[in-house]
Amino acid sequence: MRISVTPRYRADESREAESQYVFSYTITLYNQGGRSVQLLARYWKITQGSGDVREVRGKGVIGQQPLIGPGQHFRYTSRAVLDTPVGIMEGAYTLLDTTTQRPFDAPVAPFRLAQPAAIH
């Protein structure tokens, strides 16, 4: 599996005066293997600029547990709300090899969530 992430600051949804910073992120999971896989679960570790850490676990993504065939991809967009203008997300997806019925984890490398004005 290859996983790409495109984060985006959502100024239109954020309330900076209330320390509420909204970010969307688009994830694309590319199945580069020769077998179909099903996305079963997700795990996110969200570290805010203050150092506070929140962990999120759940079944599937956006209410789905998609089947991704060989050479296919699945893309979705979700969001995270932080108390600070910068943060880091990282995590993993639990996928099922539908041929062997064995689950495996596909890690998501850390990526930055940042309000554009917060980066110098």
pLDDT tens series, the chain, 120 aa: 999 999 999 999 999 999 999 999 999 999 999 999 999 999 999 999 999 999 999 999 999 999 999 999 999 999 999 999 999 999 999 999 999 999 999 999 999 999 997 665
* Per-residue model confidence (pLDDT) at position 2: 97
**Residue 74: partners with Cβ closer than 8 Å, 6 or more residues away:** 28, 29, 39, 66, 68
Q: What is the pTM of this model?
A: 0.92
| Listed residue (51, 52, 62) closest to 24, CA to CA | 62
* Per-residue model confidence (pLDDT) at position 118: 65
